[in-house]
Amino acid sequence: MSRVLKRNGILEIITDNASYLGFHLSIFGANLHMGGYVGYGKEDKHYALYTAEHLKNFCKKLGLKIVKVEYLNTEAKWYVQIIRALLRMLSPRLAYPRIKIVAYKK
């Protein structure tokens, strides 16, 4: 992506957050990332999970200037939303299932 990005071009990535506790505990109702991931069929290109630090390191290595990193919530059952709200008090990285990073090419 960096190779084809024009100077001052914006890169925006939204991906699953490897630090999200729900991907590691079945009580959240999603055993998606507990090993043995089978995906959503032939068209699924979901190969890896990243933390915010992974994405920041990739951007820095490619010479991209990071504009914003944020954690994103998704729809979930009411009890999952309550658990996420409690987790946010400890650490946002544990509570949000998605990460968004915005960077530009210098």
Task: For residue 70, give the nearest of 103, 34, 31 by alpha carbon.
Answer: 103
* Distance of alpha carbon 85 from alpha carbon 71, whole angstroms: 13
Per-residue pLDDT at 102: 97
Q: How confident is the prediction for the chain on average, in pLDDT? A: 84
Most confident of 1-5, 20-24, 65-69, 92-96: 65-69
Length, in residues, of the chain: 106
User: Residue ranges of the alpha helices (H) in the chain?
Assistant: 52-61, 78-90, 92-95
Rounded average pLDDT over 59-75: 94
pLDDT of 42 above 80: no
pTM: 0.77
Mind listing the domains of the chain with CATH numbers? 10-105 (3.40.50.150)
Percent with pLDDT over 70 in the chain: 78
